[in-house]
Structure 1
Amino acid sequence: MSKYKIILFDLDGTLSDPKEGITKSVQYAMENLGVEVPEIHELECFIGPPLQVSFAEHYDFDELKTQRAIDFYRERFKEKGMFENKLYPNIPSLLKTLKENGFTLVVATSKPTVFAEQILKYFTIDQFFDLIAGSNLDGTRTSKAEIIQYILDVYHEYEAGNFIMIGDRKHDMIGAHHTGIDSIGVTYGYGSFEEISQSKPTYMVSNVDEIKDVLVGCRVKL
């Protein structure tokens, strides 16, 4: 039987493909700031990391401009962007199988909790999750390490070895390393094979079905 009890899922790029909604909302923010609007494919880097990090890193925005960009982004995202989104194939059946096998499922996302809750409800997969842990709208608890630590504190009766983080970007693996838990790096999302492998996940998978193999099968660690 698996030693894992609590399964942490990243949302964007792991449970669902949010490319259209996120990139169009970033474009909207840039338009409102009078900044040249990049092509959608150039904005995939915004999928996964906290917006505070992405706007500062990729456009060298200072703190004030970053917050203005986030405000414009959320203006469009709340209205339509969060629903310009689609589940990856076999996600509902994976979640159902994991619940039937006794796992506790948690969402661990840098997206604000309030948005994550609405997206999961939109896809009608919210019933599979015991906890949805994201960032706060005031810009706090945005790093994946902080979010994972919050979840560990909620389930304090379990050992670190009972948790595993599943995600598609290096931030998910780094957060897992910092909090002392195992991880599964998925390569079907928005992190490249190189990004995932260099961040040293416990396991690597290329599709949703392989996640099930790790958790209820007999897949060995890397």
Structure 2
Amino acid sequence: MRYKYVLFDLDGTLTDSKEGITKSVQYALGKYNIAVENLDLLEVFIGPPLKDSFMQYYNFSEEQALHAIGYYREYFETKGIFQNKVYENIEGLLKKLKKLKLNLIVATSKPTEFAKRILKHFNLYSYFDTVVGSNLDGTRCKKGEVIGYIIDKYNIGDNRQVVMVGDRRHDVIGALENGIDCIGVAYGYGSVEELRNAKAAYIVHDVNELFQRIISV
């Protein structure tokens, strides 16, 4: 078994967070008199750093995007954070990987503080050696920065021992920037085409297939 460190994205990989994230974005956009009734249109905000998404999809300036994040958090901290659910079979996957004595780490662009609250709420926190996300001041929000921090923190000398598991191209790009494999999960919010074009090392379609891929490499 080559992989010793398994890095998991949170949104779209461990939990289905669509309702909470999209309603938080909807709330923030409403502060700018932008009404979006169809929450499906806001799925693009799941995964990437929020600032980038506000700037890309709504042409916000950097300053506007930072203010929008503040509005986003007004809703998310009290309501959106728990409008969320764990994907089926995830806890079983984590139990099996822990029995194999693998190091399980959450690597997310979501602020670390929020990620920890979510994992504790769903009784998943104890399965992870550590949780690394962005800082509340907006730093370390790129997935490549999060992964690089983890590699440095654990002083990992052989990056072939590390794999990133995520559902969006940003997970794949961040992994490639750090010279590690990425397993793309097609049950999340990124399409197979998105993951393939980003050059994910492997693509799986369900949690059982994910387990087999992690242990068979």
Alignment of 1:6-21 (within 5 A): 6-21=5-20
Whether 1:33 and 2:32 are equivalent positions in the alignment is yes
Deviation larger for 150-159 or 8-17: 150-159
**1:68 aligned partner:** 67
The equivalent residue for 1:58 is 57
1:193-208 superposed matches below 5 A: 193-208=192-207
Deviation string for 1:97-148 (max 9, x for gaps)? 0000010000000000000000000010000000100001101001000000
Instruction: Output the TM-score relative to the length of structure 2.
Output: 0.98
1:84 is aligned to 2:118:
no
Could you list the per-position Cα deviations for residues 20-54 of structure 1 after superposition, in whole angstroms to 9, with x for gaps in the alignment?
A: 00000011001122223342010000000000110
> What one-letter code is carried by the residue in structure 1 that aligns with 2:130?
L
Residue identity opposite 1:124 in structure 2? N
TM-score after normalising by structure 1: 0.96
SS at match of 1:196: helix
Quote the Cα distance in structure 2 between the aligned partners of 1:182 and 1:30: 36
Specify the SS of the correspondent of 1:107. strand
Shift, 1:150, TM fit: 0.2
- Paired residues of 2:192 and 2:203 also in contact (CA < 8 A): no
Number of the residue aligned with 1:212: 211
Distance across 2 between alignment mates of 1:206 and 1:51: 26
2:94 corresponding residue in structure 1: 95
Q: Map 1:161-176; keep pairs closer than 5 Å.
A: 161-176=160-175
State the aligned residue count: 217
User: 1:73 is matched by which residue type in structure 2?
Assistant: Y
Please name the residue that 1:115 is paired with. Answer: 114
Alignment correspondent of 1:147: 146
Extract unaligned runs of 5+ from structure 1: none
Superposition deviation, residue 158 in structure 1: 3.9
Identify the range of structure 1 (31-40 vs 148-157) with the bigger mean alpha-carbon deviation: 31-40
CA distance in 2, matches of 1:98, 1:199: 26
Q: Distance in 1 between matches of 2:211 and 2:23?
A: 32
Offset from partner CA, 1:178-216 (integer Å, 9 cap, x none):
000011001000001110111111111000111110122
Counterparts of 1:157 and 1:81 in 2: how far apart (Å)? 35
What corresponds to 1:186 in structure 2?
A: 185
- What is the percentage of aligned positions where both structures have the same residue? 53
- Asked if the contact 2:5/2:162 (under 8 Å) is kept, the reply is yes
Query: Which secondary structure state, in structure 2, belongs to the residue aligned with residue 209 of structure 1?
Result: helix
Paired letter, 2:25: V
2:131 counterpart residue number: 132
| Deviation by residue 1:49-88 (Cα, 9 ceiling, x = unmatched) | 0001100000000011101110000010000101000010
Letter in structure 2 aligned against 1:25: S
- C-alpha RMSD over aligned residues: 0.9
Q: Does 1:22 align with 2:17?
A: no
Query: Match for residue 103 of structure 2?
Result: 104
Letter in 2 for 1:87: V
Query: Following TM superposition, where does structure 1 have runs of at least 4 consecutive aligned residues deviating by more than 4 angstroms?
Result: none
